[in-house]
Amino acid sequence: MVLNETLVAQMLAFVGIYIIVTLALNIKAGHTGIPDFGHAMFFAVGGIVVGNLVAHLAAMLAAAAIPRSEYPPEILEAMKEKGFNSLVEGVLVENIKVMTFINDYYLAHKPLVSIALLVFAILTAMVLGGLLGWIASLPALRLRGEYLAILLLTTSEGLRILMTYTKQVMGDTPTVGLVVPALFRWTGNEGIVAAVFTIAVAIGVYVLMERIHNSPAGRLFRAVRDDEDAAKALGKDVVVVRRDAMIVGSSLAALAGVLYSVNPTMGGSAVAAASIYNRVFWTFWPWALMMLGGMASNRGIAIATAIVGASIVGPIRLYKDKIAAILGVEKIGLNPDYFANALEYLLIGLLIILVLAFRPQGVIPEPPSRTVPPPVESSEKRRG
């Protein structure tokens, strides 16, 4: 039963997070034509906010609420050995012990505090993600095509290297990562509850993206994508339009980073530089899902993500070893462990090839905008 719950929670969390992060990319690349190959750096903002900023805030609250005399022996020993005097200092110095203590002895019994920290994490990450998107747009949005793509990619890589090896951001052991505050521990079933919350947020983001698609702003985004020179000739400020798309898309990517961090079945209750800055997970996969669903097609992206999460990623990640054994890959000279780890990439690659070959416009092509018809005048007004 536990395994089934884990599988369901993982698939729901995967679908919700990837719907958000792919729709965030879609408003930049699909709607506005910005080839953002640095999408992972905006996603990472959410992970840093939860693993660092919110963790420090939770430590401050826990230190104020729990007397030092009630600290368990392992915390007191760690404070003596590592030379830190408070839980706040220990968030980075002795991350695993300190955050485990805060999660088990404080957040697990403080639902209102956990909810407030979750709201703070979401709002802060979206603001910082949008700010980073605006900063990235300043030198980039006057470039086109491959020049813009390479600039965003190199910016993302530079930021990844800088943040990975900055101790004040990712701690002393960035490859191991930071244990995050368990903001759903108080529910008693944090995996399922966090996954359901993620799906609810994804539905809200989908509705928002549909409204933008059918709004004048959405039509302006696509006009810039289709013919930038024509948009300029009509008096539209192309730089401002692309800047706005970068801000909206980047803030939503940071939101996805928060949800990834608070879902224990996705992030494993921790964030590491290798996971939140992962170019494959948070740049390649969103591009792949956007291509599968259809560029500028919110509904297509949601359907493609649900199909991939339910039929490929969830079961394969849990049962990949058994699948490799059933297929007997060892008999043909393949390493079962390597094959099992590569299986989901092989299948998603096969899906992309099939879609490009037989349906290059995606599962559901870009729909036309649904505009509100003008009000019909009454016959009396027309006669008058």
**pLDDT for res 2:** 42
Query: For 52-105, how does the pLDDT look when each residue is reduced to its tens digit (9 = 90+)?
Result: 999 999 999 999 999 998 999 999 999 988 888 899 999 998 998 999 999 999
**pLDDT for res 175:** 64
Element (H, E) at 270: strand 270-271
Confidence of residue 116 (pLDDT cuts 50, 70, 90): very high
The one-character DSSP state at 124 is H
**pLDDT for res 311:** 76
The pTM of this model reads 0.90
Query: For 207-265, how does the pLDDT look when each residue is reduced to its tens digit (9 = 90+)?
Result: 999 999 999 999 999 999 998 889 889 899 888 999 999 999 999 999 999 999 999 98
Q: Where are the domains of the chain?
A: 2-282
The residue-averaged pLDDT of 123-132 equals: 97
Look over the chain and give the mean of its residue pLDDT values, rounded to a whole number: 88
Contacts of 79 (CB under 8 A, 6+ apart): 71, 85, 90, 94
From CA 59, how far away is CA 56, in angstroms rounded? 5
Q: Decide which of 49 and 336 is more confident.
A: 49
* Helices 190-213/238-262 angle, 10° precision: 170
**pLDDT for res 269:** 86
Other CB atoms closer than 10 Å to residue 317's CB: what's the count?
A: 17
Confidence of residue 328 (pLDDT cuts 50, 70, 90): confident
Confidence of residue 30 (pLDDT cuts 50, 70, 90): very high
